Amino acid sequence: MTASTIALLDGGTSYHHFALTDPMVRDRAEAIVRLRGLRAADLRGVDTVVVSCRSNPDLLADAAPVLTGILERGDRLVVMGETEPGTWLPAVRETPLPTNFWWWLEPGADLGLTVRAPDHPLFGHIDLAAATWHYHGMFAVPDGAVSLIDCAEGGSILYEDRVSWPGTLIVTSLDPIYHHGSFFMPAASRFLDGFMAWLADG
């Protein structure tokens, strides 16, 4: 297996800056690239591009031709939560859901997540507990794509699509960069650590 070369998109917030420059994340990436004014030339030499959670959807819409170009050239695009990908990325169908921030205070609490592809290599780096804090919406999985984690409402909160494009699209409604960079939600930090390790593995 060949290691990936990763570019992290910096949306310009304090939580992006902290999370993306944390050695846990930064040491696994080739480059940190500003989202504002993104050009295709900024992403030469990398095969994986990570759209950081809570990046401005208007800026992502401006950058959509560059980002879909990653997929068209056969490389990998990772789109994290709260970026409204259904508004700027073809073939993504997202349903907003109310976010239950306090589910864990209820007796016998269970967020209702289910691993759908336990043999997927990602789960050699994380377990379901690392993906369990809350989620922002769910996705309809395209025919032939694979949901990795489903939610109680019936959709996917993390899926991998190798069929809609020459490259691979990974979409999630989880927001680990935001939480890691905001210094709260330990599960999100564990998820980000394992997720980046999996991406770096190729």
Residue 14 pLDDT: 97
d(CA 162, CA 168) in angstroms, rounded, equals: 5
Q: What are phi and psi of 194, to 5 degrees?
A: -65, -40
Confidence at residue 106, expressed as pLDDT on a 0 to 100 scale = 81
pLDDT in tens, the chain (202 residues): 578 999 999 999 999 999 999 999 999 999 999 999 999 999 999 999 999 999 999 999 999 999 999 999 999 999 999 999 999 999 899 999 988 888 877 888 889 999 999 999 999 999 999 999 999 999 999 999 999 999 999 999 999 999 999 999 999 999 999 999 999 899 999 999 999 999 999 8
pLDDT at 20: 97
Q: Which long-range contacts (CB under 8 A, 24 or more apart) does 156-165 make?
A: 156/116, 157/113, 157/131, 158/131, 160/120, 161/91, 164/91, 165/68, 165/71, 165/72, 165/91
Residue position matching structure tokens 């980000």:
192
Rounded distance between C-alpha atoms, residue 5 and residue 87, angstroms: 27
CATH class of 6-201: alpha beta
Give the residue extent of every domain in the chain.
Answer: 6-201
Tell me, what's the pLDDT at 149? 98
Give the per-residue pLDDT at 1.
52
CA dihedral sign, ordered 115, 118, 122, 127: positive
What the block records as the tokens of 66 is 């560059």
